[in-house]
A and B are shown apart, each in its own frame.
With several copies, the nearest count.
Chain A
Amino acid sequence: MKARVTVTLKSGILDPQGKAIEGALKSLGVAGVASVRQGKVFDIEIEGADRARAEAVLKEAAEKLLANTVIENYRVDVLP
């Protein structure tokens, strides 16, 4: 089964990388971008076909490793 875990910074945590990208876009002449925040996606192949189990595994992976829950939120999507 294919799945995607998306990890994003909690609001309020500042994101120097996002800020720098905003700046870079401006200097590249890309107009109209108000703000940028960067996150991560993990495209994951899960063995077996049990959706519920897959979601449990992904949640475990996110909690244990993929996200630093102090500063990051995550979201799990098992793709149909």
Chain B
Amino acid sequence: MKAAVLVFPGINRERDMARTLRLVSGREPAMVWHADTALPPGTDLVVVPGGFSYGDYLRCGAIAARAPIMDAVRAFADKGGLVLGVCNGFQILCESGLLPGVLMRNQNLRFICRDVYLRVERSDTPFTRGYNAGQVIRVPVAHGEGNYIADGETIARLEGEGRVLFRYASPDGLLDPDWNHNGAINGIAGILGERGNVLGMMPHPENHVEASMGRTDGRGLFAGLVDHLAQAA
């Protein structure tokens, strides 16, 4: 895996992400500065990490989405390259048009940091091959604006094309408003882009990958990517 982690001013979970990529793939990712215009040669995975790019000012991800490096990311995705956006990264991908929809303020208008349960909807994607369809994983969220919405047509398409990869659910995998902390429509926690090579998700799988730290539920996502890329190569 030759991962590139984008670094925008105000991003603050890039260290978490870089460490996880190293722990799971055995290889240090390249850290790519927002003002750069090209990705490192041979990059096979672009990760847009979490944080508060530009302080979340104006709209979460809005300013970062217009940074020079994003043109390179768009071109990379158009060629089928794998792109993962987590939390602020998800917001940036939506603002940049790589993913549809918007992430609004959480229903209760408060920032929420807690472990949530996600139902993995499909296992036949590069991002979820490390899991079984229907499996429930427990990972942390930490965001104030993770309430996913899009117009009815877009939602219908996402659902119809099976592009919803993760949903907030109860520990036994049921959709339940009490277990949907931010009020996202249909409990949507993570979605695929049209071509299935771009994933945006609000929760932080990168924070649950070490057994010594308690839980490894997030590891499957990264291990799956490593396997996929190894096969592709």
Which residue numbers of A lie inside 8 Å of B, CB to CB?
Answer: 12-17, 20-21, 24, 28, 38, 64-66, 68, 70-71
Q: Residue on A with the closest CB to B100?
A: A70
Interface size class of chain B, counting residues whose CB lies under 8 Å from the partner chain = 20 to 34
Tally of A-B Cβ pairs under 8 angstroms? 50
CA distance A45 to B105 in the complex (A): 22
For A66, list chain B residues within 8 Å (CB): 58
Whether the Cβ atoms of B55 and A17 lie closer than 8 Å is: yes
Q: Residue on B with the closest CB to A10?
A: B151
5 CB contacts below 8 A, A to B, read A16-B57, A20-B58, A65-B63, A66-B58, A70-B102
CA distance A71 to B94 in the complex (A): 12
Whether the Cβ atoms of B107 and A38 lie closer than 8 Å is: no
Known: A17-B58, A17-B105, A68-B102. A12 touches B151 (CB 8 A): yes
- Binary interface profile of B, 54-68, with partner A (CB < 8 Å = 1, else 0)? 110111001100100
Which residue numbers of B lie inside 8 Å of A, CB to CB?
Answer: 54-55, 57-59, 62-63, 66, 95, 102, 104-109, 147, 149, 151, 183
Whether the Cβ atoms of A16 and B147 lie closer than 8 Å is: yes
CA distance A15 to B104 in the complex (A): 8
Closest Cβ of chain B to A24, distance in Å, is: 4
CA distance A38 to B58 in the complex (A): 8
CA distance A70 to B108 in the complex (A): 24
Among A13, A14, A17, the one with the most B-chain Cβ atoms within 10 Å of its Cβ is A17
CA distance A16 to B109 in the complex (A): 8
CA distance A24 to B63 in the complex (A): 6
Whether the Cβ atoms of B57 and A71 lie closer than 8 Å is: no
Known: A64-B66, A65-B58. A20 touches B149 (CB 8 A): no
Known: A17-B105, A20-B108. A68 touches B59 (CB 8 A): yes
For A64, list chain B residues within 8 Å (CB): 66
CA distance A20 to B182 in the complex (A): 13
Closest Cβ of chain B to A13, distance in Å, is: 7
Lowest 5 CB-CB distances: which A-B pairs, in order?
A17-B57, A20-B57, A24-B63, A17-B105, A20-B109
Q: Residue on B with the closest CB to A64?
A: B66
Q: Residue on A with the closest CB to B66?
A: A28
Whether the Cβ atoms of A16 and B55 lie closer than 8 Å is: yes
Whether the Cβ atoms of A20 and B55 lie closer than 8 Å is: yes
Q: Residue on A with the closest CB to B102?
A: A71
CA distance A50 to B183 in the complex (A): 36
